[in-house]
Amino acid sequence: MDTSAQYCVQGRLWPRPRQRTSYIKLLNHSLVFSLICICVGAHASAQDITQIKHMVFIIKENRTFDNYFGTFPGANGATQGTISTGQVIPLGHTPDRVRDMGHTYQNAATSMNGGKMDKFDVGVAYCNEGGDYMCLSQLQQSDIPNYWTYAQIFALADNMFSSLEGPSYPNHLYTVAAQSGGAINNPNDPTNPSAPSWGCDMSSGSTVQVMDGSGNITSQFPCFDFRTLADSLQDAGVSWGYYAPGKGQVGYIWSALNAINHIRNGPLWTTNVFPDTQFIQDAQSGNLPAVSWLVTGNNSEHPPSSTCQGENWTVQQINAIMSGPLWNSAAIFLTWDDFGGFYDHVPPPSLDVYGMGPRVPLLIISPYAKPGYISHTQYEFASVLKTIETRFGIAALSSRDAQANDTLDSFNFIQAALPPLNLSQRTCPLGPIFAYGGQRVGFGNVVIGTTSSPINRTASNSGDTTLEITSVVASNNFAQTNTCGTSIAPKGKCTFSFTFSPTHTGPYTGTVTITDNATTNPNQYQLTGTGLAALATSPSRLTFASQKVGTTSNPQTVTVTNNQTTTVTISSITVSGDFTQTNTCGTSLAAGASCAMSVTFSPTKTGTRRGTITITDTAYGSPQTVSLTGTGS
């Protein structure tokens, strides 16, 4: 009998898992359990998860299974995809740094097309620039060799789905609570859209789209108070920690507990939320809690960040666990939070109105992970939570983790413990790299007919070859000047100066597109602003209830505000129809000042009566008007 091709479980020799030979070659030493069959008593169980004392949940950014492991042997991957025309095209090559593409709830829903998975080219914003179909692309083993090594040695799940068909914010909430509170998109702060925060410490005007179980979408402040797994662990006396970048740092937006009011604004934020930079020290010294979450910033692999540098960061964290005293009792769950706009060929199951979303990779790394195992069991983020709940005897948080499969099929707790596998970091490819110095530029409120003060960004080429610039184009009511010229030398810098000149009230979005020779081409600054009336009336229309002919209604008030930086001269305020007004405005209104108009309705006939208040002045957009409506009875 060839025992080198077998391994022992409960006194029997079983076929050795796929790629076991490569495992032995890689480790360069023989494993005792690969040659010797150790009989285990009947009391032992392959599902005895109590040997795991430390569970680490690492969440990275924006990749599908096909994007990372579509060519992995034995896995359910794809190397081609169908686009909206019905054409089947090969999946191209994803560069180490790739532009950020659309991955909102709406992008995902359109792309998946009811499970047909054939509209990524039209559903994903910035998918197809110059015919590159970048959203239908993938990396090869040579691009992410260490991730592939983990998959070959430990366990890989090829039926793991993001919990919601949308972006980071709601999916990160699923990683801590098995729900998102109905949130389906990332939050928005209209006064400061570049603010690096998503949660309870955002400004008061911030909102997030929330959908109920019937599909109705509203907006609310992005701060929730539902129960999380952290609360359950705390109540059960199980130690836990959330490692993430701090406020003001890149990656703070992915610190999911910032969106939970009783944690963000309570004592647990101080006692249990730690800097991501502390994780290695805690792992090496054996001070990790029983359950850890770990997210990071520039090394998250969120486009346009480097995949290679992100993989190196991950290897550092896992090496710290493997080289510390906790490896023999550890289970590491490494996943990616959402599809990031990338194609995947497997239709997600429809559990509820929220998802699931496209597949994402999941690597399970543990001494007790089945070696070389590919799990085809349906997983989602709630599956990791359910595994933790199973280990510590904790009740489910929602219907998602109650119904989810746990990940125990990927473990064998009676196998000889797999030894640590400390991998080496790689030298990452460079070339020209466009660094934004802050990609999002928010102007807030700007009075129509004026131009904002400039907002500057210092761009740079962090690569090792010259960045050649072909064109720079601003859209909508935004403009730019720059000092870059036609090229930026390696490690060189230049300045972009942006302005906003609104011509109507309301929100604006735009881009400044830099066409260049970087692999992330085109590079785009994202600009937002809101046009504000020079002389604003609030409200802009009044409606009076039914009023008896020949009588006068109670007054309603209209507030007039001068949003300009100079005094406005008012030449007249007139009113038409069955309406009258008095006001405190006088003949001028100072910059930033307000006055009030008191309006009454005295119908002369039955039926609908209409009128208009007209303000003639020196402000941009004069005359300003207020529409009036009432009903005579």
Identify the pLDDT of residue 440: 86
| Structure confidence at residue 46 as a pLDDT band (50, 70, 90) | low
Distance (Å, whole) CA 610 – CA 586: 25
Residue 577 has pLDDT above 90, yes or no: yes
Residue type, 511: T
**Second-level CATH architecture of 49-176+225-410:** 3-Layer(aba) Sandwich (3.40)
Phi, psi of 487 (to 5 degrees): -160, 155
- What DSSP line would sit under 444-460, residue for residue? EEEETTS-PPPEEEEEE
Q: Are strands 208-211 and 240-244 parallel, antiparallel or unpaired?
A: unpaired
434-532 CATH pick, 3.30.470.30, 3.40.1360.10, 3.40.640.10, 2.60.40.10 = 2.60.40.10
Instruction: Provide the whole-model pTM.
Output: 0.81
User: How is the chain split into domains, by residue range?
Assistant: 49-176+225-410, 434-532, 535-632
In the CATH scheme, what is the homologous superfamily, with its name and number, of domain 535-632? Answer: Immunoglobulins (2.60.40.10)
Calculate mean pLDDT across residues 355-360.
97
pLDDT tens digits for range 508-529: 999 999 999 999 999 999 999 9
Calculate mean pLDDT across residues 162-178.
98
pLDDT tens digits for range 313-355: 999 999 999 999 999 999 999 999 999 999 999 999 999 999 9
Identify the pLDDT of residue 47: 72
Distance (Å, whole) CA 300 – CA 311: 9
- Do 49-176+225-410 and 535-632 share a fold? no
The percent of residues above 70 in pLDDT, for the chain, comes to 92
Average pLDDT, the chain: 92
Distance (Å, whole) CA 529 – CA 446: 7
Q: Which of 16-25, 267-276, 306-315, 542-551 has the lowest mean pLDDT?
A: 16-25
Token pair recorded at residue 592: 């930033």
pLDDT tens digits for range 22-40: 443 444 433 333 333 333 3
Q: Are 580 and 559 in contact (CB under 8 A)?
A: no
Residue 105 has pLDDT above 90, yes or no: yes
